[in-house]
């Protein structure tokens, strides 16, 4: 008699964004005349850059002719893409990551979920609270946690790193030593960052205690200020303790095109076992590469035109971020993030819970955001707004929130 993976039964409710989608669908069905403004899920709205579109058309044409047709991709991804990444994301910042330490994938969500495969079930996991749900849920699924406490929503056996107003949303080194540490900077959901010196403390800690840092840098393109690391490998020794996850979703609008990569340095070892080789084995066995045409699209992001055009997109979204940040601050809200990240972390007014504020915003303003408590108990009384809408919709949403006059 077959048995299911009972760890799945420990998961609380549905995947956050699926739950929101259902609420919004129900509202929309009941109020077909209302125009809903979506500042909820972190999905982009700007079309793909012209350089990317050109690369897609060109590579589609290659697939139409036997002479230029491409079948299975090399296991780690095409060299043309890995070389562009190594040169522009790493070498240009003085960081020595080689193309064969880069693994091209269908996105950072898959990688951040799948990376756990190569680590033992017994590892103790540390995550920020609030946190991108994928890090936590995938570890629940893998059996690295106990059950959730119904009151707090926290899973037994997980080390939570609270990110609160008191610590400026910067996770502090824990008392109990974890084995795997998930960090995300610029942060989803809080939209805040940590100074490079703070990140170096985490790297030093990981080296001292034999931890692996799983570093999600999906929002790197949004960094505007100095003193923030664009890659964890800017920190001394990080190549011996850190895996970096990167995405094309937010810097180039690939949420529906699907491309990402993960860096596993060869210097990252567990005794005499190379973690790089384990990941190579995992990927060559359970994954068959990103589409050729999408890898060509990724290459185009690194072309001169592609860099200029995608930077314009990021600037467009950051104008939205400023609009939200300033508009809501002027209206008396307490807001964080939004300076080096496309997310604004809003404190809910009065004693409202995150979901109460979600319902209020949906019902009274037809504006969709993401309840902070969906990212963890320390996210309660906060609310995430994203800058990925159109400028017009973003302005309109801010106006609607202001006119609610909750405060």
Which residues, numbered 283-312, are part of the site for a copy of itself (CB under 8 A)? 284-294
- Which of 118, 119, 124 is closest to 178 using CA atoms? 124
Residue 11 contacts a copy of itself per CB under 8 A: yes
Which pairs from 155-161 meet CB under 8 Å and 24+ separation?
Answer: 155/10, 157/124, 158/124, 158/125, 158/126, 158/127, 159/124, 159/125, 159/126, 159/127, 160/126, 160/127, 160/128, 160/129, 160/376, 160/378, 161/126, 161/127, 161/128, 161/129
Among residues 278, 352, 396, 404, the one that binds a copy of itself under rule CB under 8 A:
278
If the CB atoms of residues 60 and 87 are measured against a copy of itself, the closer one turns out to be 60
The Cα–Cα gap between 325 and 323 comes to 6
Residue 384 contacts a copy of itself per CB under 8 A: no
If the CB atoms of residues 245 and 328 are measured against a copy of itself, the closer one turns out to be 245
Among residues 12, 75, 174, 399, the one that binds a copy of itself under rule CB under 8 A:
75
Query: How big is the chain by its Cα radius of gyration, in Å?
Result: 21
Kindly identify the residues of this chain, within the stretch 202-221, that bind a copy of itself according to CB under 8 A.
209-212
Residue 345 contacts a copy of itself per CB under 8 A: no
Residue 14 Cα to chain centre, angstroms: 19
Residue 18 contacts a copy of itself per CB under 8 A: yes
**Angle between the 304-330 and 292-301 helix axes, to the nearest 10 degrees?**
70
Which residue, chain included where needed, has tokens 């979901």? 355
Among residues 57, 93, 308, 319, the one that binds a copy of itself under rule CB under 8 A:
57
Decide: 378 and 162 in contact? Cβ < 8 Å.
Answer: yes
Q: How far apart are CB 12 and a copy of itself at their closest, in Å?
A: 11
Q: How far apart are CB 390 and a copy of itself at their closest, in Å?
A: 7
Q: How far apart are CB 90 and a copy of itself at their closest, in Å?
A: 24
Report how many residues bind a copy of itself under the rule CB under 8 A. Answer: 82
Beta-strand pair 212-216/260-263: unpaired
If the CB atoms of residues 251 and 255 are measured against a copy of itself, the closer one turns out to be 255
Residue 141 contacts a copy of itself per CB under 8 A: yes
Instruction: Give the interface segment with a copy of itself, choosing from 159-167, 196-204, 274-282, 339-347 (CB under 8 A).
Output: 274-282
């Amino acid at each position: 008699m077959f048995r299911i993976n009972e760890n799945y039964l420990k998961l609380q409710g549905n995947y956050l964004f699926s739950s929101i989608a259902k609420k919004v669908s129900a509202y929309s069905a009941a109020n077909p005349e209302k125009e809903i403004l979506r500042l909820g899920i972190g999905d982009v709205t700007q079309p793909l850059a012209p350089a990317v579109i050109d690369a897609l058309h060109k590579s589609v044409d290659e697939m139409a002719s036997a002479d230029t047709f491409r079948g299975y991709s090399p296991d780690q991804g095409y060299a043309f893409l890995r070389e562009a990444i190594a040169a522009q994301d790493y070498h240009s910042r003085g960081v020595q990551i080689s193309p064969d330490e880069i693994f091209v994938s269908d996105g950072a969500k898959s990688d951040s979920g799948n990376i756990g495969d190569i680590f033992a079930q017994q590892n103790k996991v540390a995550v920020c609270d609030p946190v991108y749900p994928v890090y936590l849920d995938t570890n629940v699924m893998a059996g690295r946690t106990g059950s959730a406490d119904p009151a707090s929503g926290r899973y037994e056996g997980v080390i939570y790193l609270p990110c609160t107003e008191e610590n400026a949303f910067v996770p502090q080194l824990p008392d109990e030593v974890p084995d795997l540490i998930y960090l995300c900077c610029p942060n989803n959901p809080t939209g805040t960052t940590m100074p490079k010196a703070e990140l170096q403390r985490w790297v030093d800690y990981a080296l001292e205690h034999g931890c692996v840092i799983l570093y999600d840098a999906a929002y790197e393109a949004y960094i505007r200020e100095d003193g923030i690391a664009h890659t964890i490998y800017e920190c001394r020794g990080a190549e011996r303790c850190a895996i970096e996850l990167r995405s094309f979703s937010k810097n180039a609008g690939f949420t529906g095109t699907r491309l990402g990569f993960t860096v596993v340095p060869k210097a990252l070892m567990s005794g005499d076992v190379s973690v790089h080789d384990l990941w190579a084995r995992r990927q060559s066995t359970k994954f068959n590469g990103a589409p050729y045409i999408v890898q060509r699209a990724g290459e185009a992001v690194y072309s001169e035109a592609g860099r200029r055009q995608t930077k314009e997109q990021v600037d467009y979204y950051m104008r939205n971020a400023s609009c939200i940040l300033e508009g809501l601050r002027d209206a008396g809200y307490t807001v964080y993030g939004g300076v080096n990240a496309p997310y604004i972390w809003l404190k809910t007014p009065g004693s409202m819970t995150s979901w109460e504020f979600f319902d209020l915003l949906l019902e009274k303003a037809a504006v969709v955001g993401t309840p902070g408590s969906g990212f963890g108990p320390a996210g309660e009384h906060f609310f995430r707004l994203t800058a990925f809408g159109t400028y017009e919709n973003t302005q309109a949403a801010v106006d609607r929130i202001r006119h609610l006059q909750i405060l």
